[in-house]
């Protein structure tokens, strides 16, 4: 996966969270039809930019968009 693809996926996730609010990792993967690795890389991008907040445990991870 190239950097541009990761950035595009991060943008899709940001828009999803903006529209749907707090979501689980499983919801994001299912609703956006993304592979786990693509989601994790994009979430890392968003986390690095302080755009999201994680809470919960590894089995039930929730993500909140920070504005």
The pLDDT tens digits of the residues spanning 26-64 come to 999 999 999 889 999 999 999 999 999 999 987 889 999
Task: Sketch the domain layout of the chain as residue ranges.
Answer: 3-65
| Helices (H) then strands (E): counts for the chain | 3, 3
Quick one: pLDDT at residue 57? 87
Residues 22, 65, 17, 56: what is their CA dihedral angle, to the nearest 10 degrees?
-40
Angstrom distance (rounded) from CA 29 to CA 32: 6
Query: CATH code for 3-65?
Result: 1.10.10.10
Angstrom distance (rounded) from CA 33 to CA 10: 13
User: For tokens 């907040």, what's the residue?
Assistant: 53
Quick one: pLDDT at residue 35? 87
């Amino acid at each position: 996966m190239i950097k541009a693809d990761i950035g595009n996926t991060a943008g899709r996730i940001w828009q999803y969270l903006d529209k749907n609010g707090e979501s689980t990792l499983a919801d994001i993967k299912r609703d956006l039809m993304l592979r786990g690795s693509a989601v994790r890389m994009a979430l890392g991008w968003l986390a690095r930019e302080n755009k999201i907040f994680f809470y919960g445990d590894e089995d039930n991870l929730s993500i909140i968009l920070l504005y």
